[in-house]
Structure 1
Amino acid sequence: MPAPATTLLAIGTKKGLWLASSTDRQEWTLSDPMFLMEEIPSVAIDTRDGRTRLFAGRMSWHFGPCIAHSDDLGGTWAEPREGGIRFGADDDAALERIWQIQPDAEGRPGVVWAGCQPISVWKSTDHGETFTLNRGLWDHPHRSEWGAGFGGAAAHTVLPSPADDTLHVAMSTGGVYRSDDGGASWEPRNRGISAYFMPDPDPEFGQCVHKVARDAVDPDRLFAQNHHGVYTSADRGDSWQSIAEGLPADFGFVMLTHPHRGGTAWVIPLKADGERIPPDGRLLVHRTDDGGSTWEGSGTGLPQAEYNAVLRDAACVDTAEIPGVYFGTRGGSVYASADEGRTFREVASHLPDVLSVRAAVLPG
């Protein structure tokens, strides 16, 4: 009999990185902390090309930010020269934080993307050993008008399409931008997304989009969690339609999509921007199976009272045949579901603020 598959869960927190592993997604083994007292706002698990490479976007308040990788499941870590991501002398900028580490599609196994603060996107073609600044976005004429969200000026979502050279980036604040030529040029794609807090509530750009995810079956379909507003687009972001009806609140940070089935997405609503707690203090994960026409909330296995938020990258979905859904709270609890978000169990508790969570079914 073949050995059961192992699911690996990477948990980045305000004070270090933990790894959890399980062969049944019910019982979990938690590692000792790594990079203790460093902030880990981004993690990634890259299982392409027949190997497993872990990435951690580290932030040391003494040494600054860097991107590290491990090829032995966290046993040892390597740091690329000069931290891996570094602005040039003429860019008049310094790296502040790595918000997103995104391996590209299976057909581009060496390509890894990073979204950073100040708002910038970086590309590696050598499995994350070195990164190059995307000049098309950095030199964009809108850049001087992009602002900072509550957490900073972040390029927090990088979505390469598996079908072609389309690339989407979402930023706080700036909105959604799309490149149709692999990142050489960029245009804003925010029509229909509200920016109620601005003098013009329907600007070309400047929206505070919190997270964007791509549909697994139709790469032209996107889902977005906005700063008040939940949306979908059927045309690669050319236009957006609200799908917030049926949710207890339209604020939040999380947006996840099913890895195999179209039209399925998950959100974790918060009451409002001024009250960043679950509605009525009840933590629920809401799911749609029809592209946002209807939603169903589930809290089975979750605490009856919870007043901590779930941040945008503190949630993820694995790629198992029946996908697991995972998230961590700012109160340091991490939860796992082995049945697509219907029921949950606690993986870890009393960790520092959870900032980033990623899961992967490891190759045999």
Structure 2
Amino acid sequence: MTQRVFLLVGTRKGAFILESDGARRDWALRGPFCETWPTNHVVADPASGTIYAGGGNEWFGPAVWKSTDFGASWSHSSQGLAYEAGQTPVKAVWSLAVGAEGRLYAGVEPAGLFVSDDGGTNWSHVEALQQHPTRPEWNPGGAGLILHSLVLDPRDNGRIWVGISAAGVFATEDGGASWEPRNRGTRADFLPEGQNYPEFGQCVHCLVRAPGGGARLYQQNHCGMYRSDDGGRRWESIEEGLPSSFGFPAAVHPRDPDSLYLIPLNGDIKGRFMPGGNTAVWRTRDGGSSWQAGRAGLPQGDAYFNVLRQAMATDTLEPAGVYFGTNAGALYGSIDEGDTWTCLAPYLPTITSVETLVMER
């Protein structure tokens, strides 16, 4: 049995797909797809291989694109991706996640959650999140008021975590019927002194779940890097040893809950680029107690790009592959868990997301 490995790449000008075999030495690039719509997130259902791409803007409107033939053809729908009359219209889809039995979730701007049980053709609003009593006090981050992180628990269909800029982390244990903020221990340095640890209002940048049967989450925040071992009820800072507390993406190892990858930037008001102009992917193998920088094969000197919040991912192979894309349009990959890196595609549009799909044939 052979393997097909896909990199699913969202960009400002549509979706792209790179394909390789299990060796991951040579990659074929296809695209742009989705009629070059602004595409914020591209994901796949690992059971069926169906690919979904979410995006849009205030001119195009929101939509979720779908391909059942690995990108050869696409359809799209926005049926139901709308708030009630009188509310601020949905501008775009920012995040997607595939749950049990193909149930599909979409996070949108302004921040809200939608669900589809028919493969993305029709959508329903998960109203309880927007009806949370804190909702009138949610404020937008730099990219707007967006629900950009969608984390599902494969062991429990009712458990979902979301990351919203700049409202924080919220969680449900009952499939979306009720929600609670889970931000205890995360800072909001931009608030007045004495109000830096609020119940909500933190600017979460990326939220990911560790593999295995535990309740470990990792969070890259505007104000630090954090780990939670109880499903987000309490957060512990793990930024010591990093060159900066500021960054956007985080990616977990597919099998080791203690291994995590980050790309710190030089700070929120100092340009938001590689520290010192030198590119590095930082890795921990002990849950954030210590960090090591991987630089082999990455640009050193005069590297003034950044990496956006959904633009880093790992694959499920052994050893695990790690991939990231830059706002300058370069896509990099490592097939040895971050020890060495290769540029896979140098001239794509601004890369907004990177995800992986491994299929047996």
Give the TM-score normalised by the residue count of structure 2: 0.95
Structure 2 residue corresponding to 1:229, chosen from 208, 215, 224: 224
Aligned to 1:353: 350
Instruction: Tell me by how many angstroms 1:45 deviates.
Output: 1.4
Distance, in Å, in 2 between the alignment partners of 1:173 and 1:139 is: 17
Aligned to 1:5: 3
Instruction: Tell me by how many angstroms 1:228 deviates.
Output: 2.5
Task: Confirm or deny that 1:122 pairs with 2:114.
Answer: yes
Distance, in Å, in 1 between the alignment partners of 2:293 and 2:213 is: 24
Task: Confirm or deny that 1:303 pairs with 2:299.
Answer: yes
Distance, in Å, in 2 between the alignment partners of 1:303 and 1:269 is: 15
Structure 2 residue corresponding to 1:179, chosen from 172, 178, 185: 172
Identity of aligned residues (%): 38
Deviations 1:15-55 (A, max 9, x none): 1221111112121111132235421111111122xx21111
Q: Note the 1:1-364 alignment, pairs <5 A.
A: 2=1, 4-23=2-21, 24-48=23-47, 51-59=48-56, 62-80=59-77, 83-90=78-85, 92-104=87-99, 108-164=100-156, 165-199=158-192, 200-274=195-269, 275-305=271-301, 306-364=303-361
Deviations 1:230-270 (A, max 9, x none): 00011111111100011111100011111112211111000
Kept in 1, the 8 Å contact 2:57–2:91? The answer is no
SS in 2 for 1:42: strand
Kept in 2, the 8 Å contact 1:47–1:363? The answer is no
SS in 1 for 2:290: coil
Instruction: Tell me by how many angstroms 1:181 deviates.
Output: 1.1
Distance, in Å, in 2 between the alignment partners of 1:202 and 1:61 is: 34
Kept in 2, the 8 Å contact 1:25–1:336? The answer is no
SS in 1 for 2:34: coil
Worse overlay, 11-20 or 186-195: 11-20
Gaps of 5+ in 2: none
Kept in 1, the 8 Å contact 2:37–2:56? The answer is yes
Worse overlay, 346-355 or 57-66: 57-66
CA RMSD for the aligned pairs? 1.4
SS in 1 for 2:128: helix
Kept in 2, the 8 Å contact 1:116–1:154? The answer is yes
Distance, in Å, in 2 between the alignment partners of 1:70 and 1:84 is: 17
Match of 1:278, as an amino acid?
A: M
SS in 2 for 1:313: coil
Distance, in Å, in 2 between the alignment partners of 1:134 and 1:127 is: 17
Distance, in Å, in 1 between the alignment partners of 2:209 and 2:153 is: 8
Match of 1:276, as an amino acid?
A: R
Matched residues, number: 355
Q: Structure 1 pair 89/183, CA: closer, same or farther in 2 (3 Å)? A: closer
Distance, in Å, in 2 between the alignment partners of 1:311 and 1:184 is: 31
Match of 1:360, as an amino acid?
A: L
Match of 2:256, as an amino acid?
A: R
Distance, in Å, in 2 between the alignment partners of 1:138 and 1:247 is: 35
Instruction: Tell me by how many angstroms 1:88 deviates.
Output: 4.4
SS in 2 for 1:255: strand
Distance, in Å, in 1 between the alignment partners of 2:215 and 2:309 is: 22
SS in 1 for 2:32: coil
Kept in 1, the 8 Å contact 2:58–2:91? The answer is no
Kept in 2, the 8 Å contact 1:67–1:84? The answer is no
SS in 2 for 1:254: strand
Gaps of 5+ in 1: none
SS in 2 for 1:144: helix
Distance, in Å, in 1 between the alignment partners of 2:235 and 2:333 is: 31
Kept in 1, the 8 Å contact 2:83–2:125? The answer is no
Instruction: Tell me by how many angstroms 1:169 deviates.
Output: 0.8
Deviations 1:83-131 (A, max 9, x none): 1442243462311111101112xxx122111111010011122232322
Q: Structure 1 pair 84/326, CA: closer, same or farther in 2 (3 Å)? A: farther
Give the TM-score normalised by the residue count of structure 1: 0.94
Distance, in Å, in 2 between the alignment partners of 1:71 and 1:36 is: 17
Worse overlay, 36-45 or 230-239: 36-45
SS in 2 for 1:280: helix
SS in 2 for 1:122: strand
